[in-house]
Chain A
Amino acid sequence: MAKKWNMIVDVARCDNCRVCFIAVKDEHNGNDFPGYAAAQPAQGHKWLDIQRKERGTYPMVDAHFMPTMCNHCDDAPCMKVARDGAVRKRDDGIVIIDPVKSKGQKQIVDACPYGTISWNEEQQIPQHWIFDAHLLDTGWTKTRAEQCCPTDVYRSVKVEDEEMQRIAAEEGLEVHRPELGTRPRVYYKNLHLITHCFVGGTVVTDIAGIEECAAGVEVVLSKDGREISRTSTDTFGEFKIDKLVPNSGDYHLEVSGAAGRFSGDFELGADSRYLGVIKLGAA
Chain B
Amino acid sequence: MNLTVLLWGIPQAMRMVAKLYPQYAARLKERNLIAQFRLRDKPEGRWIQLDDGKVRTGKGLHQKPDLTIHFKNRAIAENFLTPPFDLLERIDAAKNFKIGLDGPDELAVWFMQTLTQLETVTWKAGTDMGNGVMRYTNGTNSGPIFVYVKDGKILRTTPIDFDDQDAPSWSIDARGKTFKPTRRTTIATHGACLKSMVYSKNRILQPMKRVDFDPDGERNIQNRGKSKFVPISWDEATDIVVKEIKRAKAVGPGAVCVANGSHHQWGNLGHYLAAFNRFWNLVGVTKLMHTPDSWEGWFWGAMHHWGNSLRLGCPEFYGTVEDCLKEAEMIVFWSSDPDATYGFDGTERREWARQLGIKMVHIDPYLNHTAAHLGGKWISPKPGTDAAMAQALCHVWITEGLYDKKFVAERTVGFDEWKAYILGEADGIAKTPEWQQQETGVPARDVRALAREWGTKKTYIGAGGWGVGLGGAGRSPMGVQWARMITILGAMQGYGRPGSNFGNLQFGAPLDFNFYFPGYGEGSFSGEMVASANTANNYQRMPHILTMSSVRQTIPRMWFPEAITQGKAMGYLTDVASMQGQFFPFGYPSPGHVRVEMLYKYGSSSLGSQVESSRWIKAYQHESLKFVVNQSVWWEGETPFADVILPACTVFERWDIGEWYNVGAGFVHHMYSMNNHRVIALQHKVIEPLGESKSDYDIFLSIAEKLGLGAVYSEGGTSELDWCKRVFDSSDMSKRLSWREFLKKGYYVVPAEAEAARAPTANRWFYEGRKKDTPEPYPLPSDYKQDYGSGLQTPSGKFEFVASNLKRVDDPDRPPLNQYMPVYEDSKREPELAEFPLQLLSPHSRYPFHLMGDDEGSSLRDIREHRVLHEDGHYYLVARINRQDAEARGIRDDDLIRLWNNRASVVCAAQVTDRLRPGVVSASTASAEYRPAGEPGKSTDLGGCINMLNTSKPIAKKTHGIRPNTTLIQIEKWTGVDTWQPAEVA
Q: Which residues of A pack against B, CB within 8 Å?
A: 15-19, 21-23, 25-27, 29-31, 42-46, 52, 54, 56-59, 61-64, 138, 144, 147-148, 150-152, 204, 210-213, 215, 234-238
Contacts and interface: CB of A to CB of B under 8 A. Distances in A.
A22 B864 contact: no
20 contacts: A15-B347, A19-B188, A22-B192, A25-B193, A25-B196, A29-B195, A29-B199, A43-B857, A43-B859, A43-B862, A52-B865, A56-B914, A58-B918, A63-B915, A144-B158, A148-B158, A148-B187, A204-B445, A235-B449, A236-B377
Contact of B192 (A62, A138, A148, A151): A148
Contacts of B882: 58
Given A17-B369, A57-B883, A213-B446, 6 more contacts: A18-B847, A25-B196, A43-B857, A44-B869, A63-B915, A212-B448
Contact of A151 (B189, B199, B351, B443): B351
Contacts of A45: 862
Taking residues whose C-beta sits less than 8 angstroms from the other chain, chain B's interface range is 35 or more
Given A22-B189, A23-B192, A63-B915, A213 B380 contact: no
Interface of B: 131, 153, 155-159, 161, 182, 186-189, 192-193, 195-196, 199, 201, 339, 343-345, 347-348, 351, 359, 367, 369, 372-373, 375, 377-378, 380, 443-446, 448-450, 453, 846-847, 857, 859-865, 869, 882-884, 913-918
Contacts of B153: 30
Given A17-B344, A19-B189, A212 B857 contact: no
Contact of B372 (A15, A26, A57): A15
B653 to A, nearest CB: 16
Given A18-B847, A235-B377, A215 B189 contact: no
Nearest to B432: A210
B446 A25 contact: no
Contacts of B339: 15, 17
A197 to B, nearest CB: 14
A215 B449 contact: yes
Contact of A59 (B345, B369, B378, B861): B378
A119 B861 CA distance: 19
A157 B918 CA distance: 45
A54 B345 CA distance: 26
A54 B864 contact: no
Contacts of B846: 17
Contact of B199 (A30, A62, A212): A30
B187 A19 contact: yes
Contact of B157 (A26, A59, A210): A26
Q: Which of B186, B351, B859 has the most CB of A within 10 A?
A: B859
Contact of B186 (A31, A46, A61, A150): A150
A29 B196 contact: yes
Contacts of A46: 862
Nearest to A46: B862
Contacts of A234: 377
A150 B860 CA distance: 18
Contacts, number: 148
A148 B377 contact: no
B845 to A, nearest CB: 11
B322 to A, nearest CB: 21
B883 A148 contact: no
Contacts of A30: 153, 195, 199
Given A204-B445, A211-B445, A236-B449, A18 B375 contact: no
A147 B189 contact: no
Contacts of A15: 339, 347, 369, 372-373
A18 B847 CA distance: 8
Nearest to A211: B445
For the complex of A and B, list the 4 residue pairs with the smallest distance between their C-beta atoms, beginning with the closest. A150-B344, A15-B373, A150-B186, A63-B372
Given A21-B863, A54-B913, A57-B883, A26 B369 contact: no
A61 B339 CA distance: 19
A18 B156 contact: no
Given A30-B199, A42-B859, A237-B449, A58 B917 contact: yes
Contacts of A212: 445, 448-449
A61 B914 contact: yes
A17 B188 contact: yes
B916 A58 contact: yes
Contact of A57 (B343, B914, B917): B914
A22 B859 contact: yes
Contacts of A152: 182
A150 B348 contact: yes
Nearest to A274: B914
Contacts of A52: 864-865
A130 to B, nearest CB: 14
Contacts of B861: 43
Contacts of A148: 158-159, 187, 192
Contacts of A18: 189, 847, 863, 865
Contacts of B917: 58-59
A150 B346 CA distance: 10
Contacts of A147: 158-159, 161
Contact of A54 (B188, B201, B347, B915): B915
A238 B377 CA distance: 9
A180 to B, nearest CB: 24
Q: Which of B131, B158, B377 has the most CB of A within 10 A?
A: B158
Contacts of A17: 188-189, 339, 344, 369, 846
B383 to A, nearest CB: 15
Nearest to B860: A22
Given A58-B917, A63-B915, A151-B351, A29 B369 contact: no
Contacts of A204: 445
B196 A42 contact: yes
Nearest to B441: A59
Contacts of B367: 61-63
